[in-house]
Amino acid sequence: MGASPASSGTGTLSAAAACYTLVSDARLSGAVQALERWDGVAAALPHVADRLQSLREVHREARAVPGRLTALEAAVRGLDAQLGSDTALLRELQAGLLDLAHTVQANLALLTPAGGAGSGKA
């Protein structure tokens, strides 16, 4: 009528083994698919690592920019102050030279006979 206990046990073991094989095959298949996806990523990793190193260097340089900018702004303020001082000195020099030119002209006028005639050369 029913299956013998021995044949029933063998069928259960076979079913369990088949189920284990299916689960094992599914895990293996999933692992293979995951490895295939990682192969594509792994090929891009050297480029990504190089890019990250480049970005790290750019960020290091960028951190120095505010300090350099502050130093440049201070230098520009110093140059502006120096330019203002030099401009004032130049104006004083021009005024002094103009005054000197007037003095020289006045002295020459005193040394020259009236009207500029009679320079002594014929």
pLDDT score of 41 more than 90: no
pTM: 0.42
Q: Which domain covers residue 52, as residue numbers?
A: 15-111
C-alpha pair distances (Å), 80 with each of 36, 55, 76, 84, 87: 65, 37, 6, 6, 10
The answer as to whether 80 is a domain residue is: yes
Residues 47-51: what's their mean pLDDT? 93
Count of domains observed in the chain: 1
Mean pLDDT over the full length of the chain: 83
The answer as to whether 78 is a domain residue is: yes
pLDDT at residue 122 in the model: 43
pLDDT at residue 84 in the model: 93
